[in-house]
Amino acid sequence: MSVVVDFLNNVLWGYVLVYGLLIVGLFFSIRLGFLQFLHFGEMIHAIRGSRDSDRHGISPFQALCTSLASRVGTGNLAGVAVALYLGGAGAIFWMWLVALVGMATGYAESTLAQLYKVRDGQGQYRGGPAVYLSRGLNAPWAGAIFAVCLILSFGLVFNAVQANSIADAVEGAFGVPKGWVGIVIAVFAGIVIFGGLRSIVRFAEIVVPFMAGAYVLIALAIMAMHIDQVPEVLMTIVKSAFGLEEAAGGAAGSVTAAMLNGIKRGLFSNEAGMGSAPNIAATATPAPHHPSSQGLVQAFGVFVDTLIVCTATAVMILLSGVMEPGSGVTGTQLTQEAMESHIGPAGGYFIAIAILFFAFTSIVANYTYAENALIYLGGGNRKAITLLRLAALGMVIWGGYQAVVTVFNTADASMGLMATINLIGIVLLSGTVVKLTRDYLSQRKEGKVPHFRANDYPELAQKIDTSIWH
């Protein structure tokens, strides 16, 4: 198993995705006229009016909170620490870059998910990469491969990753055995998951704004206490990315290590281009009634995850001075030690609680993606969904026992397969994304509330559900 995982990671991350993610992000940034910069205000506008839902779909705000529940997880705490330790301070710069161009990628994939969405047997909106690969490219086989990869990664492996981080943090702070932590987390996750999609999104809508806001406020307070050192830390991040300064971390001075670990951990955190967030974006009732509106909402999610939350973690660690090259202290433990250096023993408890919230919400949100994929594969019946739920919770328990390196490597391999399939698909469908974007922005420029008119897209007549886009 280790040989297979290492081979996949070497091929996907050593050659395909490290450059592919940046190239596709730049491709969409250019084709969309740098939408993420010039129309950032439109993202805020789309979120402000996103509370409405109907019997077929959840609200755009609920979709944003659920995708953030998945994005804002262990990658923002343990993952940032791993990136710093293996790639040095410069790894954070590459996390920023992959997020900035990834905002355009995230916009494109969620816009496509909205456009090609369908209704399931209960009338609930469903969709995502599996559907737009099948309908948009007439490639149901590609959709099926993607769906299987999604179930394996988000339904199973990623839950083990999140549970592993919770177990490490709780054991380190409170001395509770990791195995028992996994069992308790599985019980509480089961309560939310067995409540169905509506229960999960209501949970995310309440918890995510609170947990992210509290964590960022603490980080800002720490930066305020060391405000004279913050500019120097930020300059170190930029210089180290290009080998202009000795990097702080285990791979000191290595531009390649900074780039590789920054991009890998960046994608793991913000998920732009991976094809995960579009699964929940498709379930939303868009406001305004246009596919691009949900694309804008989800692009903002990429910004929040990396440019705000990950940066807060990185600066806090670098300000602490606790990171020692070759010490072997990384992941959750490094983040806890950094916080303890700032606020004393309470710091370790705070990080443990933060990871508990971040990772727990990721577990329940990741499950929604896997359920969406299972329904695409024809497994929408009660028995199949129950089996998926039990398997997902079983992986939570398993993850409590595993070493962090083992679960991270497995997650990287499954994530790489998903991202490769999705990136190819959205590039092939980029013409549709461009047309939708121009349509949305032109209506905004005319002072109208954007509204998708299916009759203006005759090429999509047999590919989209016109009863949804009436």
Percent of the chain with pLDDT over 90: 40
Least confident of 29-33, 156-160, 315-319, 428-432: 156-160
Range of lowest pLDDT (162-166, 325-329, 333-337, 420-424): 325-329
Which pTM value belongs to this model?
A: 0.89
Residue 55 lies inside a defined structural domain of this protein: yes
Per-residue buried b or exposed e for 142-181, using 16+ beta carbons within 10 Å of the residue's own CB: bbbbbbbbbbbbbbbbbbbbbbbbbbbbbbbbeeeebeeb
- pLDDT score at 391: 92
Q: Where are the alpha helices (DSSP H) in 116-196?
A: 129-136, 140-150, 158-174, 178-193
Confidence of residue 407 (pLDDT cuts 50, 70, 90): low
Question: What is the model's pLDDT at position 406?
Answer: 60
Model pLDDT for residues 241-251, shown as the tens digit of each residue: 887 665 444 44
pLDDT for 355 equals 81
pLDDT(404) > 90: no
Domain count for the chain: 1
pLDDT in tens, 185-235: 899 999 999 988 888 888 888 888 888 888 889 989 999 999 999 999 999
Ramachandran angles phi, psi of 28, nearest 5°:
-70, -35
Which tens digit of pLDDT belongs to each residue from 126-160? 999 999 999 999 999 999 999 998 998 888 888 88
Q: Is residue 455 part of a domain?
A: no
Phi–psi pair at 388, nearest 5 degrees: -65, -45
Q: Are 59 and 347 in contact (CB under 8 A)?
A: no
Is a pLDDT exceeding 80 seen at residue 124? yes
- The span from the CA of 313 to the CA of 306, in Å, is 10
Asked if the structure places residue 451 within a domain, the reply is no
- Written as one letter, the residue type at 370 is A
Structure tokens of 345? 């023993």
Q: Is residue 465, in this structure, part of any structural domain at all?
A: no
CA 49/CA 175 separation, integer angstroms: 45
Which sign does the torsion angle of CA 342, 345, 351, 353 carry? Answer: negative
Burial of 330 (0-12, 13-18, 19+ CB in 10 A): buried
pLDDT in tens, 239-296: 888 876 654 444 444 777 888 888 878 877 888 888 999 999 999 988 888 999 999 9
Question: 259, 94 in Cβ contact below 8 A?
Answer: yes
Percentage above 70 pLDDT, the chain = 93
Q: Model confidence at 356, in pLDDT bands (50, 70, 90)?
A: confident
**Which domain does 291 fall in, by range?**
7-440
* 22 pLDDT tier (thresholds 50, 70, 90): confident
Of 92-96, 315-319, 401-405, which range is least confident? Answer: 401-405
230, two tokens: 């913050």
What contacts 315, CB < 8 A, 6 or more positions away?
219, 223, 230, 233, 234
Q: Which of 468, 470, 469 is nearest to 124 (CA)?
A: 468
pLDDT on residue 221: 92
Residues 6+ apart with CB under 8 A from 92: 80, 83, 84, 237, 241, 262, 310, 311, 314
- Position 106 scores a pLDDT of 95
pLDDT band at 403 (very low <50, low <70, confident <90, very high): low
pLDDT at 162 over 60: yes
Does some domain include residue 153?
yes
Rounded to 5, what percent of the chain is helix, strand, coil?
Answer: 75, 0, 25
Residue 320 pLDDT more than 60? yes
Asked whether the beta carbons of 135 and 469 are under 8 A apart, the reply is no
d(CA 352, CA 371): 29
For residue 315, is it within any domain?
yes
CATH code assigned at 373: 1.20.1730
Distance, in Å, from the CA atom of 457 to the CA atom of 470, rounded to the nearest integer, reads: 12
Counts of helices then strands in the chain (DSSP H, E):
22, 2
Q: Are 413 and 8 in contact (CB under 8 A)?
A: yes
* Residue 460 is assigned to a structural domain of this protein: no
Average pLDDT over residues 154-179: 81
What is the chain's mean pLDDT, rounded?
86
90 assigned to some structural domain: yes
**H helical segments located in 282-403:** 291-302, 311-320, 331-343, 346-376, 382-399
Question: Are the CB atoms for 291 and 126 separated by under 8 Å?
Answer: no
